[in-house]
Amino acid sequence: MLDDFFARAALAGVGVALAAGPLGSFVVWRRMAYFGDATSHAAILGVALALGFSSSVFLGTLVAALGMALLVNMLSHKGHSMDTALGVLAHSALALGLVAISFIQGARVDLSAYLFGDILAVSRLDLLVIWSGALVVTGLLYWRWSALLTATLNRDLAQASGINPRREELVLTLALALVVAVAIKVVGALLIAALLIIPAAAARGFARTPEHMAIGAIIFGAASALAGLGMSLWLDTPAGPSIVAAAAAFFATSLGRRKA
């Protein structure tokens, strides 16, 4: 089955959804959409570094995304205006990455794959990386679920319960960087934040508990990946944007549910 490119693509999409679903729920609850944008845009800078030093693209994007996430996390505790800081960091990292890639011979051909994903070209090694990263993120969130949820709902209550909110923010930072690194092959740097936010936002209209929302986000994310892949093959559209378009359609459905 793994010799079939569509099967590999489907497994890759489901793997990313497994990690992005519950993490995206925290992104929605904490209103961290711009945080996700800044981290994902930094992935292009990581790609440039990886190509420049002939190292693993996964490792380069992980280091760059983690560095950006830690920087944003640090600035958030320094009293800076986060809208402005995130806007400057996100667009600067993306621009620097694109400029750096332009100086690397032979990299321009693959630029669209890094920006919008190339899920149909996922290899067995890519699948291993994606599912390993997804399982690590899922295990990390499962382990810290109660503490993360308490710190998200009420920082004072978390501190009174012996939970360090900043430590839990670092857990989310690490998880977000890892998801960005594994998802860049699937939807690309420009669409990773959408895959984090839209399925979680869609699940919110159907969920009654945080756990239901996290599970629903996984389901919507996986369904978006499969529907987007089907749309891509049927209509000959780009796979990454098609996945996000499918997620947007699910979100529109959830809006009707919420009104009802």
pLDDT at 26: 93
Question: Using CA atoms, how far apart are residues 184 and 12, in angstroms rounded to an integer?
Answer: 11
161: CATH: 1.10.3470.10
Domain that holds residue 72: 5-188
User: How far apart are the two ends of the chain, measured CA to CA in Å?
Assistant: 42
Annotate 218-240 with b (16+ C-beta within 10 A) or e (fewer): bbbbbbbbbbbbebbeeeeebbb
Q: How confident is the model at residue 109 (pLDDT cuts 50, 70, 90)?
A: low
**DSSP 8-state code for residue 104:** S
Question: Using CA atoms, how far apart are residues 176 and 164, in angstroms rounded to an integer?
Answer: 19
| Structure confidence by residue, pLDDT tens digits, 35-49 | 778 888 888 888 888
pLDDT at 74: 76
pLDDT at position 148 over 80: yes
With contact defined as beta carbons under 8 Å apart, do 184 and 113 qualify? no
Residue 73 lies in a domain: yes
pTM, 2 dp = 0.89
Q: How many domains does the chain have?
A: 1
Residue 146 lies in a domain: yes
Residue 251 lies in a domain: no
pLDDT at 78: 64
Mean pLDDT of the chain: 86
| Structure confidence by residue, pLDDT tens digits, 172-223 | 888 998 999 889 888 888 889 899 999 999 999 888 899 999 999 999 999 9
pLDDT at 21: 94
